[in-house]
Structure 1
Amino acid sequence: MIEVSDIYKSFGENEVLKGISANFEPGKISLIIGGSGSGKSTLLKCMVGLHHPDSGKVIYNGTEFTRLSFEDRIPIRKEIGMLFQNSALFDSMTVEQNIIFSLEMFTDMSKSEKIDRANFCLERVDLAGTNALYPSELSGGMKKRVGIARAITMTPKYLFCDEPNSGLDPQTSILIDELIQELTDEFNTTTVVVTHDMSSVMGIGDYILFLYQGKKNWEGSNKEIAHTDIKELNEFVFASPFMKVAKKSF
Structure 2
Amino acid sequence: MIEVQDIHMSFGDNKVLKGISGTFKPGLTNLIIGGSGSGKTTLLKCMIGLHKPDSGRVSYDGRDFLNMNFEERIEIRKEIGMLFQGSALFDSMTVEENIMFPLNMFTDQSNSEKRERANFCLERVDLVGKNKLYPAELSGGMKKRVGIARAIAMNPKYLFCDEPNSGLDPRTSIVIDELIKEITEEYNTTTIVVTHDMNSVMGIGDYIIFLYEGKKFWEGSNKDISKTDIKELNDFVFASRFMKAAKDKF
TM-score band, normalised by the shorter chain? over 0.9
Q: Secondary structure at the match of 1:41?
A: helix
**Partners of 2:242 and 2:225 in 1: CA distance:** 14
C-alpha change, 1:116 and 1:244, in structure 2 (3 Å) is closer
Instruction: Give the Å deviation of 1:77.
Output: 0.6
Instruction: Give the Å deviation of 1:242.
Output: 6.7
**Partners of 1:154 and 1:242 in 2: CA distance:** 39
Instruction: Describe the superposition over 1:136-180 as per-residue Cα deviations: whole angstroms up to 9, x where unpaired.
Output: 111110110000000000000000000000000000000000000
Q: Secondary structure at the match of 1:239?
A: helix
Cα pair 1:3 1:58 within 8 Å, conserved: yes
Equivalent residue runs for 1:1-250 within 5 Å: 1-241=1-241
Q: Secondary structure at the match of 1:192?
A: strand
Q: What is the root-mean-square deviation in Å for CA atoms of aligned residues?
A: 1.3
Q: Which runs of 5+ in 2 are unaligned?
A: 246-250
Counterpart code for 1:103? L
**Partners of 1:193 and 1:240 in 2: CA distance:** 16
Extract structure 1 runs of 4+ deviating beyond 6 A: 242-245
Cα pair 1:125 1:145 within 8 Å, conserved: yes
Counterpart code for 1:57? R
Q: Please, what TM-score do these two structures have when normalized by structure 2?
A: 0.96
Instruction: Give the Å deviation of 1:240.
Output: 3.0
Q: Secondary structure at the match of 2:91?
A: coil
Paired residues in the alignment total 245
**Partners of 1:68 and 1:240 in 2: CA distance:** 38
* Amino-acid identity (%): 77
Cα pair 2:89 2:147 within 8 Å, conserved: yes
Instruction: Give the Å deviation of 1:243.
Output: 10
Residue in structure 1 matched with residue 248 of structure 2 by the alignment = none
**Partners of 2:108 and 2:168 in 1: CA distance:** 36
Instruction: Give the Å deviation of 1:11.
Output: 1.2
Instruction: Give the Å deviation of 1:244.
Output: 10
Q: Which runs of 5+ in 1 are unaligned?
A: 246-250
Instruction: Give the Å deviation of 1:223.
Output: 0.4
**Partners of 2:95 and 2:50 in 1: CA distance:** 25
**Partners of 1:110 and 1:154 in 2: CA distance:** 14
**Partners of 1:73 and 1:192 in 2: CA distance:** 19
Counterpart code for 2:132? A
Cα pair 2:88 2:147 within 8 Å, conserved: yes
Cα pair 1:198 1:242 within 8 Å, conserved: no
**Partners of 2:86 and 2:242 in 1: CA distance:** 24
**Partners of 1:236 and 1:10 in 2: CA distance:** 24
Residue in structure 2 matched with residue 248 of structure 1 by the alignment = none
Q: Please, what TM-score do these two structures have when normalized by structure 1?
A: 0.96
Instruction: Give the Å deviation of 1:50.
Output: 1.0
Cα pair 1:237 1:243 within 8 Å, conserved: no
**Partners of 1:12 and 1:100 in 2: CA distance:** 39
**Partners of 1:137 and 1:79 in 2: CA distance:** 30
**Partners of 1:27 and 1:243 in 2: CA distance:** 30
Instruction: Give the Å deviation of 1:70.
Output: 1.5
